[in-house]
Structure formats: C-alpha cells, structure tokens
Amino acid sequence: MTNQASDRYVSSLQAALAGGQFVFTGEIGPPKGVSVEKCLHQAEQYLKGRVAAVNVTDIQTAVMRLGSLALSHLLAERGMEPVFQMVTRDRNRLALQSDLLGAYVLGIRNVLALTGDHVSMGDHPQAKCVYDLDSVGLLSAMTMLESGHDLGLDSKGAPNVLEGSPKFFKGCCVTPCTEEVAPQIIKLEKKVAAGAQFVQTQAVYEPEAFDKFMGEVRRRGINAPVMVGIVMLKTVAMGRYMNSSVPGVKVPEATLDRLAKAAKDDRQKVSIEICAELVRAMKPFCQGAHLMTLGWDHCVPEIIRQAT
Amino acid sequence: MIVADRKKIPEIRDMVCRHKRVLLVGCGTCVTVCLAGGEREVGILGSAVRMSLKLAGHTGVQLDECTIERQCEDAFIDVLAPRVKDYDAICSLGCGAGVQTLAERFPSTPVYPGLNTQFIGILESQGVWTEKCLGCGNCRLGEFAGVCPITRCAKRLLNGPCGGSRQGKCEVDADRECAWQRIYDRCVALGTLEQLDAIAAPQDWSTGIDGGPRKVVREDQCIVGLGPKA
C-alpha cells in the first residue's frame, strides 16, 4: 500500500478513482521462468509514477508462468501498487480464499476477479479446469472474507469466523464490444452486486460502441468506475488476428489501414497515436484507461502524454 | 443415455493379444442405441480384431462374440456366466459401468474395455451425439431455463457468459453452442429474463464426483429385513 491510500481508501487506485481524476493503469505479464528482473525493471522505468496501479496477469491465456501473487508482491516492494489479477480456472475456493488472505498480508489491496481463458487455449491443454467458482463467486468470496467470514460453514451451519479480516479494492472485467451486449450487462450488474468496486474492460477500438455500452451501464444504474481497456495495436497482423480470433474485439479497417500505411520506422509512433486517440475519444464516457502494451512498456509515458 | 464410442482396433488388439480365448461382449442398452457396442457393432469389431490379430502375427487367439441385454445389472449377466469359464479374457463393449460389473462378477477373468465411455447425452442428428448432463447430483436446470451451464459451458459459468461467445458459439470450439447464449435466448423467449438478475450461488460440488464415488439408496426399494446391499 502506498502513501496515497488513507483510512478511507484501501489503495491508491481506489483513492484516485474516488478523487474523480481520469486514472491510468498499466499491465505486466510475469515471465515463464524465474527471471523477474527485466519486467520489474521495465515497470519501474516506464510505469512507476505514471500509472495509479499495475495489473499483474494470472497465468494469462492459460500459458504456464510465474504467478501473479508473487510478482504483485515484488512490485509492491518496489513501490508500485499492483492489481493482483486472479482467475478461477486454476484454484478451488479453498485455494482462492487462502491466496486472497496471503495477498492481503503481503500488502496487496487491489484484486481483479476473472474467470480466465480456458486451458485449451494455452500450453497445457491436458490440464484439469477447476472453475469451482466463477468471477461473480470470487467477488462474493472476497466480500465474505471482508466481513470476517469465509465461504465454509461451521458445525452449527454458521459461516466460519476469521481471525482478522482483509479489506480489498475489488475489480472485475467486462467485454463492451461483444455481439450480444445485454447478457454482459446483466452479468456486470451481478459482479457489482457481489462486491466489484471498479471495472477494467476488454480491449476497445470502437469508441461509438463503447459510448453505447456505457449508456446502457448508466441506464441500469451501475455506478462502479469503468476503465476502458486499451490494447496496443503493434502490427496489422495482430489486428487481423484479433478480428478473426478474439471474440468481442473489433479493430476497424480504417485503424488497420492507418497502421499499414505508416512507414516501417513510424509504426510504433502510429501505434502510440492510435492508443492516445482512443483514450481521448472515450475519456468523456468513463473514469480511466487500462493500458495493455504487450511488452511495449516504454510507450506508456508517451501514450499518457498524448492522451492527456 | 450414456454415449460411448469404440476404441481403435490396435488398442483393443494389444489388450487381448496375450490371451488364448477371448469373449467379446456387447450390451443391448445405451451403447446399442448410440451404435457403439450393440450386437451389430460386436460383429463388426470381432471381424476387425481377428484380422488385426492375424496381421500382427497373433495367430493363436480365438475371439468369440456375444451380446447380453444389460451389462450393468447382475440378473442379465446370469445368461453370460456359464460361457465365461470357457474363456480366459473378456472384452466388454459396455460402458464403464458394464465393464466394472463384469469384472466384479468374474473375479478370475480379466475384463478389458472396448469402448471409451463419453457422457450422458442425446442423439442430436444422425451420427452426432452431444453431452447434456454431468450427473452433478443437484439439478439446477430450473434456474437456467432448462439449459445446463455446468455441463454445456466450457467454464461452468453460473452467472452469465464469458466474453468469448461469438455468433452463439463457444470460444473453446466454434462447433459448440454457447450455453449462455442458449440460456439467454430461452429466457427472452419465455419472458423470464429477470430470473437471470439474481446471483446464482456457487455450485455445491459435494453431491457430484468431487464428494467421492456416489451411491443412491432407496429404502422403499430395498428388500425388507435385508436392508441396502453393501
């Protein structure tokens, strides 16, 4: 926990969003292995002091790697506030609750509840999927832990009592540009009812669709701050891949054309411009932006500079 | 019904090739209906395994065939019992329950599985069977408009779709329906969309296989005085 957090807020991210400023978060992916210095160094150099918090992905795309909890802790040690991403794919409710308590005692306060990509997408397709809880169940579990209880019952049928309870800033995800938005909104409402206090979205490249989505969010009375997801478009091929294979993400042809027409040496510059323009376009409808630069962390300062 | 499909011939051949006399036993119930282990399939498989044994140089194996009405019930195995003493191995074309019932009934005879038991499902179209029920022991279909997300959603989500649904299909396999799209569409059609607003409680897995192997005891069906069979 950093110095911005006060008695009222459990984390700087919560304080920043409550303060009404437009908030940026970044993201790092733990390495496949134990060489953590490179990603920590990148985070320290390009994200520290620029974003309110840094998400740490949890065995992203079901590709085995170092855990989110450990790297979140290392970030906190270096003075960066982590958002501990937690998927329900790999742990049952015993392990999820236990790791939440572990995260709390290690000083981690922001937790993003996710279901996680299916194991068939990753590099261990033979693994057993757990999915004991879904993301709504995980948020309910966090809320329960905060109340001083866990999901289990004692011999009299009452919830088990904890020795000391944690306090989190609880987040969730939503896919705003999916084909069928209504079920996403119903689920988002349940996530907030279960305890979600902030929302980070899947990648958005269509500001108009996002505007429409946010209109629906407001109409349903969902009040949690929403940070729009910005995934850096590094190549045209990546955009085409997302269009064909990543449901709920649509990169407009005009955006792809713009990147295609840029001279090779200018592509990164154009990628940065696209990110910054997306943020500027969607800023009026939301409370922050979650920047996912996919290893191009060095672009974050310039994206933020151009977007603000 | 229980849906199964046949193991590959070489796998069956390699299980039975060490024996002299092998009895291939079909089952007249679920696996007959799903065209995997009935009388017809036993006949076809028998010929194929004999040919495969011969080609692999296992000339001394005698493979005979028969089919009983139901492998998972002792009373139906009675008709098989007199024949079994003439064989030194059985290859069952029943489901996993059938294989194990035969193994318990004939403790001195090795029993091999000829099928891979797949799931509880339905015949969707000619030649296509799909899974519908996981046998979780605590049916919640009433909460989900008659579509089971525990069985039919790859992530067993109880509170709505993941972001991966595309054109009503699952992100794990574009040939599979997204269970949550089906639930949503059915709720719209039934005018019961508001039932999806309530948070669905986490599943109690203790009534399923996570609680250990299960047993159903119906006292009213047990023979008076004997109690449930151990």
Q: Both B45 and B115 in a single domain?
A: yes
Residue A249 distance to chain B (closest CA, Å): 9
CATH class of the domain defined by A21-167: alpha beta
Give residue A234's region: left, alpha or beta (phi > 0; psi -120 to 50): alpha
Chain A positions contacting chain B at CB under 8 Å are 89, 93, 115-116, 118, 120-121, 129, 131-137, 140, 151, 173-175, 178-180, 182-184, 186-187, 189-191, 193-194, 202, 247-248
The minimum CA-CA distance between B146 and chain A, rounded to whole Å, is 17
B226 belongs to a structural domain: no
Q: Are residues B102 and B146 in the same domain?
A: no
Q: B208 vs A41, B100, B204, CA distance in Å?
A: 47, 20, 8
**B102, B16: one domain:** yes
pLDDT at res. A1: 45
Over chain A (308 residues), what is each successive 10-residue block's mean pLDDT? Answer: 67 97 97 97 97 98 97 98 98 98 98 96 97 98 98 96 98 94 96 98 97 96 97 96 91 96 94 98 97 95 97
Specify the pLDDT at position A179. Answer: 87
- Sequence ranges of chain A with CATH classification 3.20.20.220: 21-167
Same domain, B8 and B69: yes
The reply to whether B13 and B80 lie within a common domain is: yes
Question: Could you tell me if residue B215 is inside a domain?
Answer: no
The reply to whether residue B157 touches residue A175, judged by beta carbons under 8 angstroms, is no
Q: Do B199 and A135 touch (CB under 8 A)?
A: no
Task: State the nearest Cα–Cα gap between A78 and chain B, in angstroms.
Answer: 34
Domain with residue B19: its CATH number is: 3.40.50.2300
User: In chain A, whose CA is at the least distance from the CA of B210?
Assistant: A132
- On whether both B170 and B98 belong to a single domain, the answer is no
CB contact under 8 A, A180 and B202: no
Q: Are residues B109 and B162 in the same domain?
A: no
Task: State the pLDDT at residue A10.
Answer: 97
Q: Are residues B55 and B161 in the same domain?
A: no
ipTM, interface predicted TM-score of the complex: 0.93
Distance from CA of B183 to the nearest CA of A (A): 10
Calculate how close chain A gets to B137, using CA atoms only, in Å: 15
**Contact call for B158 and A136, based on CB within 8 A:** yes
Domain tally, chain B:
2
Instruction: Among A87, A89, A131, pick the best mutation site for testing chain B contact (most B Cβ within 10 A).
Output: A131
Give residue-wise pLDDT tens across range B116-168.
Answer: 999 999 999 999 999 999 999 999 999 999 999 999 999 999 999 998 888 89
pLDDT, position A224: 97
**Statement: residue B208 has pLDDT above 50:** yes
Residues B183-202 have pLDDT tens digits of: 999 999 999 999 999 999 99
pTM, entire model? 0.94
Q: Which comes out higher in pLDDT, residue A4 or B46? A: B46
Domain holding B71, by residue range, is 2-119
Q: Which residue of B has its CA nearest to A185?
A: B160
Residue A33 corresponds to which tokens in the numbers above? Answer: 């292995």
Is B132 contained in some domain? Answer: no
- pLDDT on residue B165: 87
Residue B216 within a domain: no
> Does the pLDDT at position B59 exceed 50?
yes
Q: Which 3 state secondary structure label does DSSP give B197?
A: coil
Give one word for B132, left, alpha or beta, with left for phi > 0 and alpha for psi -120 to 50.
alpha
Within 8 A of B181 by CB-CB distance, chain A residues are 180, 183
Q: What are phi and psi of B197, to 5 degrees?
A: -70, -25
What local confidence, expressed as pLDDT, does residue B164 receive? Answer: 87
pLDDT mean over B1-26? 98
- β-partners of residue A288 are A23, A227
Question: Is the Cβ–Cβ distance between A129 and B150 less than 8 Å?
Answer: no
Residue B209 belongs to a domain: no
**Is B83 domain-assigned?**
yes
Least confident range from A218-222, B55-59, B212-216, B226-230: namely B226-230
Residues B33 and B114 in one domain: yes
Q: Are residues B23 and B91 in the same domain?
A: yes
- The answer to whether the Cβ–Cβ distance between B160 and A190 falls below 8 Å is yes
The token pair that represents A211 in the structure block: 């505007």
Specify whether B24 is located in the same domain as B104.
yes
Kindly state whether residues B13 and B101 are assigned to the same domain: yes
